Amino acid sequence: MLLELRIKNFILIDELSLTFGKGLNILTGETGAGKSILIDALSGILGEKMSTDMIRSGYDRAVLEGVFDISTLTQVKQILELSGIDNNDDTLILRREIYSNGKGRCFANSVQITLSKLKEIADYLVDIHGQNEHQNIVQVAKHRELLDNFGILQPLVQNMSQLHKQLQEIKEKIESLQIDEREKARRIDYLTHAIGEIEQANLQPNEEEALKNESNLLSNAEKLFNELNTVQELMQGDRGVVQSLKKMEMSLGHMANYDPNLSGVLETVREAYYSLEDSYATLRDYARSIDFSPERINQVEERLALISSLKKKYGDTIQDILAYAEKAKGELSTITSTDEALDKLQQEYDVTLKQARELALQLSEKRLEAAKKLEQMVTRELADLGMQGTVFRVSIKREISPDGEIEANNKRYILYPHGLDRVEFLLSANEGEELRQLRKVASGGEMSRIMLALKKCILDADIVDSLVFDEVDAGIGGKTAEVVGKKLKTLARQRQVLVITHLPQIAAMSDHHYMVQKKSVNARTTTLVEKLSPDEKVNEVARMLAGEVVTDLSVKHAKELIELASKQ
């Protein structure tokens, strides 16, 4: 429900804040007072197109805000939650800013959002019916949903959606397995060869790095051997370090016998001698391990070449190659067992399709029943609203296709998540005229009455809590005006309704009455809106009855109208 409308620097409005209540909210005022400005502002908040000439002259920005109670709107709460927008207090504030440079911004509870997100949210908040409409009811995509809600068919639609999803998933599995026999044979040959080639190579996880290290050693074996000879000669030759240390150790041993203070030096030399002895032994063993065999060099290089070849085909590393082999085994197993798997999937598809067909045909029958009932109800409502001869029809069609999943009446039909049917509301506004789409109905007032009739009939099915009617009274008067007022009053018992009207019969029905007028403030024309007290409401209805000169008789008549309206 719309709780508050805030407008700043917009067309003829400097700054304005209006609070709205439950029930029937009526806006009246002289022609040209600016009532349409309020509708334009609300439309802007709901995501409709805006232009820079809507910014009040002398300002570089216009700001529009709407405060909504969304306590009953679970769809809006879900959108906000998925968008990371807080709504803990069940209040939503939508803000739209337009700038003189043509740029604009949108906000939901102070979080900046895109215009498309704003429109997505607004679809659940308000329907505006009039010359400049923001409405679900003329969107063909909404007609099937409205009919299903009217007929209480949503549980069946949800089941249909689940079956449709299952069919699509099974179909995708079948298609993934259905490859032609030649391609199947080629694939089996390739996978078999790949698996055999990889298994024959008998690769080890860290083998490549070890082979590269060995290749490097083998390639430099002669250099290593020469250097080793040099080191060993320096260590163990006649004048080598080890022999010299040995001699030093013996001399120091004799000296330490005479002077114990040299024991520390003796131990240091002795440790160095033993350490070099160990190093020499290690180098001797290392020299024996060096393989000068050209045959081993060839073996290592051939092994590295094999690994390189496999990497080009199956992966960047040995781990990738081994993983590819496992994957290939799985695919080969799947292909070789395709026939059996296809048989099982086809059986599953046939069973699911049978269930889907039965449900889709059942859903179609119930839609036809609901459509007939809705047609009768709306046509009666339109007659009450002064549109005798108007014919309302619900068109339900199926899309025929040779590839359609559902067969019925010797035809094949495409199955959608919601069933077989494409639903559209059609209207013939005058006797003898052909049925047309709702959006092609000519006048705004006529459209508003059609919307009023539809809303009255599908009230329980409609997800939108706030309805705005502009020019609902265009071209009517007398008894029809009284009927329109009564229907608006009835509608307002279950929905918040805002109506701009010129008719006193409708204005008298209000739960909340607002008067729109233009005044000169600080030498500038400004649109002002005032919520009327009960006495002020009487005077406004009297003005609507009498014109410029309000008489005692018109006041008396206004009181009578309001008193009668209060009994509705």
* Structural contact between residues 506 and 469, judged by C-beta atoms closer than 8 angstroms: no
pLDDT of residue 135: 57
pLDDT of residue 36: 84
Phi-psi region of 214 (alpha: psi -120 to 50; beta: other; left: phi over 0): alpha
Model confidence band, residue 444 (pLDDT cutoffs 50, 70, 90): low
pLDDT of residue 567: 78
Amino acid present at 373: K
pLDDT of residue 538: 93
If you write DSSP's letter for every residue of 221-281 in order, what string do you get?
HHHHHHHHHHHHHHHHSTT-HHHHHHHHHHHHHHHHHH-GGGHHHHHHHHHHHHHHHHHHH
pLDDT of residue 461: 66
Model confidence band, residue 19 (pLDDT cutoffs 50, 70, 90): very high
pLDDT of residue 166: 95
How high does pLDDT run on average in the chain?
Answer: 86
Mean local confidence (pLDDT), 319-330: 91
pLDDT tens-digit profile of 82-95? Answer: 898 988 788 999 99
Model confidence band, residue 269 (pLDDT cutoffs 50, 70, 90): confident
- Give me the sign of the Cα torsion angle 350, 356, 362, 364: negative
Q: Which domains does the chain possess?
A: 1-133+465-568 (3.40.50.300), 183-336 (no CATH)
Instruction: Out of 25-39, 47-61, 70-84, 465-479, pick the least confident.
Output: 465-479
CA–CA dist 389, 157 (Å, integer): 34
Nearest to 515, CA basis, from 86, 49, 28: 28
pLDDT tens-digit profile of 389-414? Answer: 888 899 999 999 998 899 998 999 99
Model confidence band, residue 132 (pLDDT cutoffs 50, 70, 90): very low
Evaluate if pTM is beyond 0.75. no
Mean local confidence (pLDDT), 67-78: 90
pLDDT at 475 over 80: no
Mean local confidence (pLDDT), 353-370: 95
- Give me the sign of the Cα torsion angle 304, 309, 315, 316: positive
* Structural contact between residues 465 and 1, judged by C-beta atoms closer than 8 angstroms: yes
CA–CA dist 188, 192 (Å, integer): 6
CA–CA dist 66, 70 (Å, integer): 12
If you write DSSP's letter for every residue of 36-74 in order, what string do you get?
HHHHHHHHHHTT----GGGBPTT-SEEEEEEEEE-TT-H
Could you tell me the two tokens for 286?
């290392």
pLDDT tens-digit profile of 237-256? Answer: 667 787 788 888 888 888 88
Higher-pLDDT residue of 451 and 562 is 562
Model confidence band, residue 200 (pLDDT cutoffs 50, 70, 90): very high
